Amino acid sequence: MSVYTSVGEAELAAWLSRYSIGQLKSLKGIAAGITNTNYFVDTTHGRYVLTLFEVLRLDELPYYLELMSHLARHGVACPAPIADSTDGYASMLAGKPACLVTCLTGAEVSAPSAAQCFAVGEMLAAMHEAGNTFPRRMANPRGPAWWSATAAGLYAEMDALDAASLREEVAFQDRYRFAHLPTGVVHADLFRDNVLFDGDRVAGFIDFYYACNDVLAYDVAIALNDWARRDDGAIDDALARALLAGYQSLRRFSDDEKAAWPVLLRAAGLRFWTSRLLDLYRPQAGEMTYTKDPKVFQRVVEDHRARRDFWL
């Protein structure tokens, strides 16, 4: 259940008068999404998704919504925000910043095939290409400075061996700088629950609210650490190769990117290991978090440390 903010039909119908999408027929809460409230909104013109932002402020939304609009205009499969009579994408509804986006078909895939991993990699490369002309910039708020500071605040409470492993990884990453690698718009959270599939075709990337400007190959590493990860926690070689092959069918890694790739895979693991530890040790009051296991990404990082073949 993830409808934190209730919206009534009358209130919504009044708010919809700022849009050119027809008359409200019905709305229905969507039981997905951890941070935001989502509704299906059916009008005489079709189905849309209404999002009420529980954490992001109205002035923080333009980067994300204009990015989604930009990517959709470029043919990247993602929801397209609907502009209102002020030509804006977001305004207040029920006390929360809110927006409407197009409703994609397709469904999540929990156990992806190699063909689906290939398609995700290919669409991610398409997204990276299309992002080249996006004019806005946003630094990654969950980069090395963030994970170093966050980890430092948690070591004392952690199991000693886990803390040592985390310290080792933070120290390892501190030895690398990636300023020379190609950067651009990254999704930064392209996990299985953020991609809709229609068969083996990507019907859409969703949940762009971690998107930012960062190293492109790091985004591939984030995706690979989830898409190629089996239920037992190990990375599946065939799925990893498929995702990389899909990505590189459109955008080949440079020599610099290939050299940095093993470190980026560990960095991508560290970022989620750290955020899951934070969720575990510092749960946010009032935020519904079904805490995900940090051990999953501890294992990803430790497996990458021992790995010799990185599928390139």
Chain residues binding a copy of itself by CB under 8 A are: 19-23, 44-46, 48, 69-70, 72-77, 80-87, 100, 119, 122-123, 126-127, 129-130, 132-133, 201-202, 249-250
* Token digits of residue 27: 């709305």
Least Cα distance to 262 among 201, 223, 304, 206 occurs for 304
Q: How far is the CB of 45 from a copy of itself (least distance, A)?
A: 6
Q: How far is the CB of 137 from a copy of itself (least distance, A)?
A: 16
Residue 311 zone, left/alpha/beta (φ > 0; ψ -120 to 50; rest): left
Nearer to a copy of itself, 106 or 262 (CB): 106
Nearer to a copy of itself, 201 or 230 (CB): 201
DSSP 79: P
Nearer to a copy of itself, 7 or 126 (CB): 126
**What residues pair up with 43 in beta bridges, in sequence order?**
24, 46
Nearer to a copy of itself, 127 or 224 (CB): 127
Q: Is 201 helix (H, G, I), strand (E, B) or coil?
A: strand
Give the orientation angle of helix 144-152 with respect to helix 160-174, to 10 degrees: 150
Nearer to a copy of itself, 66 or 108 (CB): 66
Q: How far is the CB of 221 from a copy of itself (least distance, A)?
A: 21
Long-range contacts of 151-155 (CB under 8 A, 24+ apart): 151/274, 151/277, 154/277, 154/278, 154/281
Q: How far is the CB of 81 from a copy of itself (least distance, A)?
A: 8
Phi, psi at 210, each rounded to 5°: -110, 0
Nearer to a copy of itself, 44 or 110 (CB): 44
Least Cα distance to 289 among 32, 30, 110, 35 occurs for 35
Which helix (H) or strand (E) segment holds residue 27: the answer is strand 24-29
